[in-house]
Structure 1
Amino acid sequence: MKHDCHYHPGDPAKWHCGECQIHYCTRCMPDADTRKRKALCPACSKAMRYLGAATEVVPFWNRIGSFFRYPFHTDPLIVIAICTLVPIFAPANLIGILIWLVLALALFKYTYAVINHTAEGHLKPPSVSVAFTGSGFNIVILQLLVFIVMGGLVGTAAMLGGPGLMMLALAFVLLALPASIMVLAMERSVGAAVNPMNLAVLISRIGTPYFLLYGYLILLTMASGVAQDFALTHFPFWLSQPLSGFLNSTFTLILFNMLGYLLFQYQEELGFSADTQDDASNADRHQRDRGNRFDADIDMNLKDGNYDRVQSMLKETLKQNRDDPVRIGQLYKLLIAQNDATELYQYHPRILGWLADRNDGEGIASVLGILEFAESGFKLDDPELAVRCARFLYQKGHFKQALRLLQDFHKRFPESDELAPAYLLVAQTLANGLSQWEKARAFLTFIQKRCTNHPLHPQIPVFLDQIEKRELLKGPKASFATPDQGN
């Protein structure tokens, strides 16, 4: 069953809190340990249930093409080739029979490994070594026992109820065979694989898609039979035998891959969890970054309307790292949304500095407007910040606001190195923005008399000349001429 994240509708949920009945996606849980399937609910701190890929997995009927391509990956192709071609060159004696038997067991083991591998979320086939090394060869014996028990069930039904009951039993056995194979692959238990209640529960939990899959499996079986019959009929024996074996192995892997994927798709209904293992975009997202956890908490609290809580969290963080640009930006957006002049005033130096770093003249104008409304005659106490903010206000056309910010600058900061840049900006604002040329001349004259040692001093005559010509105040043009060229 698909569940969306409570806080990010449209994003598949990965975690579910049984206490709060809330579903969370990976964005809400950046600090969760997906490998160990452990996470604590952000709301109640209780352990949550991991949903794996159950909420985002693509239905199997949309991946038919992928199932048919599955046997042609390198690893399964090598397994099929070894198990199909080696017996051709084996001697026609007891040793050859043993070789054929071992390879048949290896292929059988590999097909069952495909179910487990796919059910765990691996969309790529298991490696070649799985077929020929390690334990798991007993799966063949277990499957034979399952067939014997099922045959015994049909025979018992025939003895007790005659042909009618036998046909019902046979129909159930055939219908439940895919479910039995899936249970046997996952649990390695004959009892579980032949238990009618167990199989009925699995079929009922999957529901209609099980019968859709069953139809596909019948078609696959028929297609495999037709293809093998064609090979045996139209090709010589030396070619038809390996070709028939290759086709049989290929269709078997397709079938078992589909069974494993069905388990993966309905993992939540079947009571286990698995995630996509081979897709780089869905790699382990277990991150211990406290910043990501903090961002997720802010996001959830904002969506819950807990604005005071978010504000307290940001202020507490800024006590530990007062110049954190991310948190300053978040606090600015929150305070502007709330039109909180009191808190804006408290944090205005850092907020205005943050806006100036981003060349955000409109944002500076908005903050200053709120502060000026709350406190008539508001002025900045930092001369460098005042000049920076005024420059961006000038660039955005907020001329009067820029002038108010630099008003009486020489009285407030008489020894500041920012005095010349501040009054040059005032002159540019008056001349270029408001066409008040005489007032602009007065400020340029002030710089010429008062700031004789400042690097801007030699440029003042150029600006005064521009005033006389009623030209826009711009800096002197760069010259690349050497003194000799000038002569």
Structure 2
Amino acid sequence: MKNDCHYHPGEPAKWHCGECLIHYCSGCMPDADPRRQTGLCPHCGRNMRYLGAATEVEPFWQRLSAFFRYPFYSDPLLVVIICTVVPLFLSPGLVGWIIYMVLLLILIKYCYTVIRHTANGHMKPPPVAEAWSGDGFALGLQSFVVVVVMIAAVTSAFALLGPLPGLVVMGLAYLAAPACIMILAMEDSIFPALNPLNITALISSIGWPYFVFYGFLVLMSLASAAAQEMAFVHFHPVVAYPLGGFLSSAFMVIVFHMLGYLLFQYQEELGFASDFQEEDAPADPNRDRSRRVDADIDMNLKEGNYNRVAGILEEALKRDPANPNRLNQLYQLTLARHDLDALHRHHAKLLRWMVAHRKHRDLKTLLTLLREKYPQFQPQEPELVVACADLLFLQHEPKPALQLLKDFHKRFPDSDQIAPAYILVARILANGFEQWDKAANFLKFAARSTSDPETKDAITAYLAQAEKREPLKGPKATFAPASDISNAAS
């Protein structure tokens, strides 16, 4: 049954907590490990059940074109070509027969690898090396045994029970064949694959789609037989034999891929979980903690747990005080809640973030809100005060900038920012309000407050501009080469 995420309706669930009875999507569980199928519930902290792709995989009948393209990927195509072409050069006799049987085992082994590979969420074929590795050849032999047992059962039914019961047994054998192959691929044992209870359980778990698949399989078998017959009727045996062998081998790969996809599609009903695998993307061993924080914030916001969200953000900012994303989230939350106490408590971090990212409107809003509750509010860090005032001045907000710098020398008598602060005051008065005399007085005070030669030179330039009633501007930039500057100076 398809389940959506509790917090993101429309998103397929990938995890389910049996204790909280909540379904989660991948976005809610960024720190879970789908490969190991381990994840802890964000609410109760207990291990959850991994649902894999069971809730989002599309039905197999919508992927028919992809099934028919599957054998023409380079890896399965190479296996099919080898198993088709090599027998053409075999001489009759024992050696040729042995090589032919080995090639058949290789093809069968690769097809069983395709089933497992697909059932585990890999929609691209397994590498060609899987066909030649020693591991898994027993499956080919076991599949021969399964076929022999089924043929023996049908033959015995005809011999002992008569034609009509024999036909019934043959029909059931054909119907059970796909289920036997799937069970053999997953269990790697003959006995579960031949157990009628296992076969019945698998068919009943999949339900009516199994019979739809069986119908497709019958039609595909007829089409494959017709294509091979056409090849032998219309082509010379030199062409017909390899063409027929190629078609039958490709058909076998398609069928086994479809069987693997059927397992993948009905994984939840069959009691296992797997997900679509990115073929080239390695697992990230270092899970991104920030995504876990984002997911917790999102879930708690949807549940209305705003105090919990505030606590999560404060904990995150203890670990990373300058994180711009967390500061933005904290500001938006406190602003939406009109939590002035929280704004006051975190104002220094928020102001530094606003200055660093040139958020002058947010800075002005924050100062206005804090002064509503605390009329005498002023930041307590001199460098931060100057930086905030400078940003406001550059963004044509002279009044709030002046308010920040009011009585700066009294508030911070030992600060080395007194001269920069009052140079800024002078520039605001001159450029914003055309108060040249007041600007000159502040410049003279700034000159007495510093011993830095460069600052004194800048103040002298500003005073000259103030006397001429010109806007106070810093020294002009020059792009002349250093040699030209030195020559001009000499």
Where does the alignment leave 5 or more consecutive residues of structure 1 unmatched? none
Given residue 110 of structure 2, which amino acid in structure 1 is its aligned partner? Y
Given residue 431 of structure 1, which amino acid in structure 2 is its aligned partner? A
Query: 123, 148, 151: which is aligned to 1:148?
Result: 151
Distance 1:219 1:463 in 2: 91
Deviations 1:187-239 (A, max 9, x none): 34555445556445434443454344334323322221122112212222222
Given residue 136 of structure 1, which amino acid in structure 2 is its aligned partner? L
For normalisation by structure 1, the TM-score amounts to 0.88
More deviation, 205-214/358-367: 205-214
Mapping 1:267-416, distance limit 5 Å: 267-280=267-280, 284=283, 287-319=286-318, 322=321, 327-416=326-415
**Contact 1:16–1:24 (Cα < 8 Å) also in 2:** yes
**Contact 1:51–1:268 (Cα < 8 Å) also in 2:** yes
**Contact 1:301–1:310 (Cα < 8 Å) also in 2:** yes
**Contact 1:424–1:444 (Cα < 8 Å) also in 2:** yes
SS where residue 148 of structure 1 aligns? helix
**Contact 1:30–1:285 (Cα < 8 Å) also in 2:** no
SS where residue 405 of structure 1 aligns? helix
Given residue 216 of structure 1, which amino acid in structure 2 is its aligned partner? F
| Counterpart position of 1:430 | 429
Mapping 1:10-159, distance limit 5 Å: 10-132=10-132, 133-134=134-135, 135-148=138-151, 151=154, 155=158, 159=162
**Contact 2:146–2:194 (Cα < 8 Å) also in 1:** no
Distance 1:8 1:390 in 2: 43
**Contact 2:112–2:139 (Cα < 8 Å) also in 1:** no
Deviation of 1:287 after TM superposition, in Å, equals 4.0
SS where residue 127 of structure 2 aligns? coil
| Counterpart position of 1:218 | 218
Residue 255 in structure 1 maps to residue 255 in structure 2: yes
**Contact 2:418–2:449 (Cα < 8 Å) also in 1:** no
Deviation of 1:382 after TM superposition, in Å, equals 1.0
Distance 2:291 2:183 in 1: 40
Residue 181 in structure 1 maps to residue 181 in structure 2: yes
Distance 1:278 1:417 in 2: 57
**Contact 1:387–1:418 (Cα < 8 Å) also in 2:** yes
**Contact 2:105–2:141 (Cα < 8 Å) also in 1:** no
Mapping 1:475-486, distance limit 5 Å: 475-479=474-478, 480=480, 482=485, 484-485=487-488
Distance 1:333 1:361 in 2: 15
Deviation of 1:402 after TM superposition, in Å, equals 1.0
**Contact 1:466–1:472 (Cα < 8 Å) also in 2:** yes
Distance 1:306 1:153 in 2: 70
Distance 1:377 1:171 in 2: 91
Deviations 1:44-75 (A, max 9, x none): 12221111222333433343332222212233
**Contact 2:7–2:299 (Cα < 8 Å) also in 1:** yes
**Contact 2:228–2:244 (Cα < 8 Å) also in 1:** yes
SS where residue 16 of structure 2 aligns? strand
For normalisation by structure 2, the TM-score amounts to 0.87
Distance 2:418 2:438 in 1: 17
Given residue 143 of structure 2, which amino acid in structure 1 is its aligned partner? V
SS where residue 349 of structure 2 aligns? helix
| Counterpart position of 1:446 | 445
Residue 265 in structure 1 maps to residue 268 in structure 2: no
**Contact 1:41–1:47 (Cα < 8 Å) also in 2:** yes
| Counterpart position of 1:456 | 455
**Contact 1:149–1:194 (Cα < 8 Å) also in 2:** no
Deviation of 1:96 after TM superposition, in Å, equals 1.6
Change (3 A) 1:142 1:113: farther
Deviations 1:142-194 (A, max 9, x none): 331452366268649964xx74x666655554444433332333234555445
SS where residue 68 of structure 1 aligns? helix
**Contact 1:124–1:278 (Cα < 8 Å) also in 2:** no
More deviation, 1-10/230-239: 1-10
Distance 1:156 1:394 in 2: 102
Given residue 452 of structure 2, which amino acid in structure 1 is its aligned partner? N
Given residue 184 of structure 2, which amino acid in structure 1 is its aligned partner? L
Where does the alignment leave 5 or more consecutive residues of structure 2 unmatched? none
Change (3 A) 1:166 1:285: farther
Given residue 18 of structure 1, which amino acid in structure 2 is its aligned partner? G
Question: Would you say how many aligned residue pairs link Structure 1 and Structure 2?
Answer: 483
**Contact 1:52–1:274 (Cα < 8 Å) also in 2:** yes
Deviation of 1:252 after TM superposition, in Å, equals 1.3
**Contact 2:15–2:24 (Cα < 8 Å) also in 1:** yes
Distance 1:155 1:362 in 2: 89
Given residue 261 of structure 2, which amino acid in structure 1 is its aligned partner? Y
Change (3 A) 1:57 1:433: farther
More deviation, 310-319/363-372: 310-319
Change (3 A) 1:104 1:321: closer
Change (3 A) 1:434 1:243: same
SS where residue 472 of structure 1 aligns? coil
Change (3 A) 1:263 1:111: same
SS where residue 16 of structure 1 aligns? strand
Distance 1:285 1:153 in 2: 56
Deviation of 1:141 after TM superposition, in Å, equals 2.7
Distance 1:265 1:332 in 2: 45
Given residue 233 of structure 2, which amino acid in structure 1 is its aligned partner? T
Distance 1:311 1:21 in 2: 26
More deviation, 362-371/425-434: 425-434
